[in-house]
Amino acid sequence: MRCCSPPRPAWVPTCSSSTRSRRSTGPARAAGTGAWDWPPWRSRSRSRQRGSTIPAMLLPDAVCPHSTASPRLGPRAAGDEVHRRCCRGQPRELLPASCPGMAVPLGEPERGRAGRAGQGRTERGSAGQDGMVQGGAGPWDHRIIKVGKDPQGHRVQPAPTTTITPNPEQGAWLNNKGAWLSGNGRGLTEGGWLIGGGPTPRPRRVPLTSRAGNGGSGPRPLHGADRCGAQRGGACSALLCPRGWGGGGLATAPRGSPSPPPPARRGVPPPGPRVPRCPLHAPCPPVSPTSPVSPYPPYPRPPCPPISPHIPPPPQTPCPRGAAPPHLTPPPPPGVLPLSQAWGRAPRLPPSPLPAQRRAFSNNKILVELDESAGVATMKFKSPPVNSLSLDFLTEFCISLEKLENDRACRGVILTSAVPKIFSSGLDITEMCGKSTEHYAEFWRAVQEMWLRLYSSNMVTVAAVNGSSPAGGCLIALTCDYRIMAENPKFSIGLNEAQLGIVAPFWFKDTFVNVVGHRVAESSLQLGSLHPAPEAHRIGLVDELVPEEKLKDRATAVMQQWLALPGKGGTSWAVTECRNGDLTCVGGPGIEAGSCVSVGTGGVGGWEVGKLSKAVRAALGCEGCAWHTAGRSAGCAGRLPPAQLAVPALLSRAGGA
Ligand SMILES: CCCCC/C=C\CCCC/C=C/C(=O)SCCNC(=O)CCNC(=O)[C@H](O)C(C)(C)COP(=O)(O)OP(=O)(O)OC[C@H]1O[C@@H](n2cnc3c(N)ncnc32)[C@H](O)[C@@H]1OP(=O)(O)O
């Protein structure tokens, strides 16, 4: 509800959720379905311009699913749509008054709020908006528009807006996610990420009731004391709970940084001692197998991962995963302090010294296994007989994907099937007849949501197609970064809608064209062809064929290859130095000196590597670049020099990538 629903401040040019990072190729919206027809406001080429962004202002309001100016739905219905999305479809009437999705006006001062961390929709960042701090209703209410990735390349859960409330007594600021922010007078940092400048707030005593802690004791800060049903002993929907995945959640406070004790609210016991936060040490969230308020099917919450005997409980011993083996920490360039020194935070590292951590969660239709050591999850469709994409399936798909998206340990997903011989039979045909109009709308919305989430995922996505994959099943594979298919000629794949007497929606078509090219797509769509695996490979519909028994290994190998790349795979992030208005770049691991940076999802000061178009480079006046890079896996260490604060100006000059 807080996204960009009315009242929308004048400085928000359009909905923040329209800042997704793909280019639009099709019309803004499809006509005539009567439902939210999110247009494919971007398409992608095989070269996968993952980090490229277009500024929000280039997208018409109608494009944005949170738009309040829907000519189709009208303001009221559009408002409901906003609510639906922000509250994960929870009917408004069923939500407690404390639901963060209920109207909290943008101008409302934050009073003792904590915790929407991990709760909002996953919104992508965009150039020019990431990390911008805007003045709010009062001089100390600042709203951060978009949060994308921190300097380590980890996704930061993007609450659509974040309000920062200064706590001058403690010299720190609290945002509406309950995270402590440190301020340096020139800008703010959240989790070590520079989030913007903004006016220096005047001191004011602000009653605060809770805070996000680094795990440990205290009143479950990430749940938000007043916001989460589970916090009050009620039912916490897996959808609303920011810590839906066993003790994970989002740690926004810098690890190991000194943090002030929060002022206590009357009647609320003060939280316990602050301890370093570690996923392994995080306290279990309250388990609520089902939510009475959720319209979704029961969604069992996984148990917390067991605390390894190797890891003594906090706070006596620092988290072993928080410390950087010296050999993995690249030396900063002269004059640049690593973030860990500058802000008292240890860089995030791959947990290689520890035994591999595996987590799994499952719902009725999808089994998800996360190998934390590799940063790769496998989503296995398990909805027999044919993995048809029913509303339930689609819903669970989106939930699972979002959980992974919000999990910093996960950087890639392999999609495959647990049903023999079938990857997915496509949209569930029984959902498309004999149902109410509302059901059709909901179903179609879910189809689009699935596609958008997958397409716009920040994770590397690999489809391991181990069976037939017609229509919607094919779309899932097409939407991934890479497709590997079992080389069984009995397995076929394609958009066969024409054979059913229906037309593949234009965004199915666009996705198909992007992969196989125009002419092949044209004839294949007209004939409704289902291509046997060898033919699918020949026309480029799948990238490679492997024997079925090797599919998993090959998918894993491909994933590793992708994850090793700079950028989306997240291995390399650059912190640029800005001197005299010029960006200077020094090469880095896997990065050529002189190759440049993007104004993509990195946000202010965090520039993703290797995706800057020539035009943007020219606009930035970026000649001879010098940057400090650090592999994401080794944690990005680098301190932005003061001159870096000039970057927002450069961003606006660039107008996006
Ligand atoms: C609501 C608003 C919508 C707006 C509409 C706007 C535009 C419409 C276009 C939308 C784009 C459409 C995309 C789609 O995905 S449409 C679905 C296309 N899918 C297919 O054509 C697949 C058809 N199925 C098969 O080809 C085969 O079943 C198979 C997947 C190759 C598996 O074969 P096999 O192992 O021999 O299994 P069976 O054929 O015996 O099937 C087993 C049972 O599964 C049922 N089944 C199969 N596919 C579906 C499906 N897509 N949806 C629901 N149910 C399905 C099949 O009926 C069998 O059930 P039974 O045992 O009870 O008979």
User: Which residue has better confidence, 324 or 157?
Assistant: 157
User: Which residue has better confidence, 331 or 561?
Assistant: 561
- Out of 60-64, 138-142, 219-223, 532-536, the most confident range is 532-536
Q: What is the mean pLDDT of residues 276-304?
A: 39
- Out of 91-95, 104-108, 271-275, 647-651, the most confident range is 91-95
**pLDDT score, position 356:** 59
Nearest to 275 by CA among 256, 254, 250, 247: 256
Write the residue with the smallest CA distance to atom 60 of ligand 1. 385
Our CA angle for 16, 376, 131, nearest 5°, is 25
- Centre of ligand 1 to C-alpha 473, Å, is 10
Lowest mean pLDDT among 1-10, 293-302, 534-543: 1-10
Ligand 1 atom, smallest distance to 33 CA: 4
Is residue 591 scored above 50 in pLDDT? no
> Could you report the per-residue pLDDT of 301-347, keeping only the tens digit for each?
344 444 444 444 344 344 343 333 333 334 444 444 333 333 322 33
- Centre of ligand 1 to C-alpha 580, Å, is 61
**pLDDT score, position 90:** 44
Indicate the domain borders of the chain.
360-579
Write the residue with the smallest CA distance to atom 48 of ligand 1. 425
Is residue 276 scored above 50 in pLDDT? no
Percent of the chain at pLDDT above 70?
Answer: 32
Spell out a b/e string for 133-159, using b for 16 or more CB atoms within 10 Å of the CB, else e. Answer: bbebeeebbbbbbbbbbbbbbbbbbbb
Beta strands at 358-362 and 366-371: parallel, antiparallel or unpaired: antiparallel
**pLDDT score, position 357:** 76
> Could you report the per-residue pLDDT of 464-476, keeping only the tens digit for each?
999 999 999 999 9
**pLDDT score, position 153:** 60
Active-site residues: which are they? Answer: 427, 472, 496-497
**How far apart are alpha carbons 369 and 364 in whole angstroms?**
14
Tell me which of 386, 423, 442 to substitute to probe ligand 1's pocket, judged by most ligand atoms within 8 Å of the beta carbon: 386
Lowest mean pLDDT among 89-98, 268-277, 445-454, 497-506: 268-277
Write the residue with the smallest CA distance to atom 36 of ligand 1. 386
Q: Which residues line ligand 1 (CB under 6 A)?
A: 385-386, 388, 422, 425-430, 432, 440, 443-444, 468, 470-472, 496-497, 500, 502, 504-505
User: Which residue has better confidence, 543 or 194?
Assistant: 543
Architecture of the structural domain at 360-579:
Alpha-Beta Complex (3.90)
User: Which residue has better confidence, 496 or 53?
Assistant: 496
Secondary element (H or E) of residue 572: strand 572-579
Is residue 157 scored above 60 in pLDDT? no
Is the Cβ–Cβ distance between 411 and 457 less than 8 Å?
A: no
Secondary element (H or E) of residue 132: strand 132-135
User: Which residue has better confidence, 482 or 324?
Assistant: 482
**How far apart are alpha carbons 465 and 228 in whole angstroms?**
39
Nearest to 648 by CA among 615, 607, 613, 604: 604
**pLDDT score, position 473:** 98
Which phi and psi angles does 369 have, rounded to 5°?
A: -120, 130
Is residue 456 scored above 80 in pLDDT? yes
Ligand 1 atom, smallest distance to 473 CA: 15
- Centre of ligand 1 to C-alpha 428, Å, is 6
- Centre of ligand 1 to C-alpha 156, Å, is 38
Lowest mean pLDDT among 59-73, 494-508, 509-523, 560-574: 59-73
> Could you report the per-residue pLDDT of 339-386, keeping only the tens digit for each?
333 332 233 334 444 455 788 887 889 999 999 999 999 999 999 999
ipTM over 0.95: yes
- Centre of ligand 1 to C-alpha 427, Å, is 7
**pLDDT score, position 495:** 98
**pLDDT score, position 566:** 59
* pLDDT band for position 625 (cuts 50, 70, 90): very low
User: Which residue has better confidence, 289 or 441?
Assistant: 441
Tell me which of 33, 425, 447 to substitute to probe ligand 1's pocket, judged by most ligand atoms within 8 Å of the beta carbon: 425
- Which residues are 544's β-sheet partners? 484
* pTM of the predicted protein model: 0.47
**pLDDT score, position 515:** 96
Sign of the torsion formed by the C-alpha atoms of 540, 543, 544 and 548: negative
User: Which residue has better confidence, 174 or 279?
Assistant: 174
**How far apart are alpha carbons 210 and 454 in whole angstroms?**
35
Lowest mean pLDDT among 272-281, 441-450, 538-547: 272-281
**How far apart are alpha carbons 205 and 611 in whole angstroms?**
44
**How far apart are alpha carbons 621 and 615 in whole angstroms?**
10
Is the Cβ–Cβ distance between 194 and 640 less than 8 Å?
A: yes
User: Could you write out the DSSP letters of every residue in 249-315?
Assistant: ----SPTT---PPPPPPTTSPPP-------TTTSPPPPP-SS-TT-SSPP-PPPPPPPPPTTSPPTT
Is residue 224 scored above 90 in pLDDT? no
- Centre of ligand 1 to C-alpha 360, Å, is 29
Write the residue with the smallest CA distance to atom 16 of ligand 1. 427
Q: Which residues touch 74 (CB under 8 Å, ≥6 apart)?
A: none
* pLDDT band for position 152 (cuts 50, 70, 90): low
